[in-house]
Structure 1
């Protein structure tokens, strides 16, 4: 059900009334399962629906100077293409990283829901603002940090965002990213990413086996990453 993680995501950063939660529970949707590297939408598409990530990861990406550049990852509860309500032509691809499941909600239904509720209108507007804050942090990460804190910062962000929707258990979570994905997100070569991850392992900061990533010394790891979660605007209280 698409509303579960979406409500958890919205509650992690602000209030959502019970009436608005009911509206999200009752929205119409279709479900689509994506294979690894399968596209949800492509550059130039004119989507008629908004996407909700139900499970797995999506990447926002496009080819720049013959190199694939990932500019964001979207996790369970995220709505990566909310701007398509007002910007009709996609200027980037949304691609599945590993297998994923998405829900599609027609633009007309989203607009009707927002017209009925200023609370949801504000919640979705807040989501677009937070996505903008995340994008600015990615620019800073790429432009100012060395490889080790750059990669560590990406991992810290993913862990924190997964915590918002209850998908981290004892600092361990499912992470389908390959070293190529990390390289494309961090502007590094695959060789450099491999060396960086090995260094993080050598320091005893992470254990990354297959699709499971565990943060072994969370506080020290965040210090290495120069990570401050303030830009994610999470609330310091538990949610449903």
Structure 2
């Protein structure tokens, strides 16, 4: 997993495992679709299948960085898969030289084996048929179209539930409002007024907070600070008025 260490820090082991199990189908491997596949292949996607029946033309060399002059006249899908495989040999890449529109009309079951279908530069009629096919099979459809430096991306999916989230601001529960018995006993066993610098330095901060919380509660009928003003007083005179 060290190969994907940086991205593992973003979406974790479960996210990477889901990525490596995914199977992607790209319809039409123009610059938009190729860029999408390049990013997925570098990330370690499980497998990719490219569907495109066109040959590489001179115009492709000016807008697709995965093609070079040696590809002219050859299958665009085959050439793209060859370059994608060089980017990450752990990813399975295959191609199908067939018209996308024909495949949608005559072989809808072809798409059932994929996790995500990325459709690029498709006419609306074909896109609507494909949306029906993917929707009935519960497959994610990503429709993308580019016009020079502008474009659009649309995701079609019945429902997407996020189960594991990573909040940006997570507050630890220190149990100050209801410390367990052992924590109370541990806090009371430490002399927080000890003037020895070494002892003072090694006093766990939770002990100080528990003792201060108890002191506050004793002076306020057993209640911990609840209002903003009380919390400010508990924090001390140097706390921010906006805390």
Scaled by the length of structure 2, the TM-score of the pair is 0.25
Tell which has more relative contact order, 1 or 2 (C-alpha 8 A, sep 6+).
Answer: 1
Structure with greater strand share of residues:
1
* Structure number with bigger Rg: 2
